[in-house]
Amino acid sequence: MTIKQTCKAALLAALYMTISGTVRAEDAPKPLAPAEAFAGKCSSCHGKDGKGNAAMVKTLKFDPAALDLTDAATAGKTDADLTKVILGGLNKMPAYQGKLTDEQVAGVVTFIRGLASPKTEAKPDGAALYAKCVVCHGKDAKGDAAKAKAFHVDPAALDLLDKDTLAKTDAEIAKITLEGLNKMPAYKGKLTEDEVAAVAKYLRAQAK
């Protein structure tokens, strides 16, 4: 074959694969996404949240712990263990071999892991975050005298524990922190709303 012919053959092959691939994808029913597969096939026994369906536990006399897919027992198993139970079944747990594709089972296993560890990001630590404010508002949040002088502001303006500040709502304190005020820098993009709320909570606690 000449180079030209080789190229033509490769191009045709690629074209054929594209066309046939498209046709096959259209023919086959779209496989359910993991969340849909779980809701449709598993939640009746395991509950929407994977913690076990209470009604099912009662009716079928299931062991509630066995149905809980978010507990330590399930977390301690490997993906291969869980895949085996899903494909092969176990006691009253039905087998899904032939009903779910390998890919779907893998997706559902990942989904189950996600249920077990919901996105509980560590709660923002107001005291630690306040470190960002110390330079102007002082360690005790009563305002840094030198900064007040340098900024030519009333020292009371930097006091975050005075009546003036405490009279403000959390929303107002959050707004000032996020958007800034005169020489007070804006923290939008530097602190999340949750973090700002945590700092405000810390300040209120300091005031007590």
CB nearer to ligand HEC: give 5 or 182.
182
CB nearer to ligand HEC: give 69 or 124.
69
Between the alpha carbon of residue 21 and those of residues 16, 25, 144, 160, 196, the distances in Å are 8, 6, 69, 65, 51
Q: What angle do CA 9, 13, 17 make, to 5 degrees?
A: 170
CB of 118 to ligand HEC, least distance (A): 18
- Give which of 52, 49, 29, 51 is closest to 39, Cα–Cα: 49
CB of 84 to ligand HEC, least distance (A): 9
CB of 24 to ligand HEC, least distance (A): 25
CA distance 169 to 49: 36
Contact 135, 153 (CB under 8 A): no
CA distance 31 to 40: 12
CB of 182 to ligand HEC, least distance (A): 3
CB nearer to ligand HEC: give 66 or 124.
66
Which chain residues interact with ligand HEC by CB under 6 A? 41-42, 44-46, 62, 66-67, 69, 73-74, 77, 82, 85-86, 90-94, 96, 108, 132-133, 135-137, 151, 153, 157-158, 160, 164-165, 173, 176-177, 181-185, 187, 199
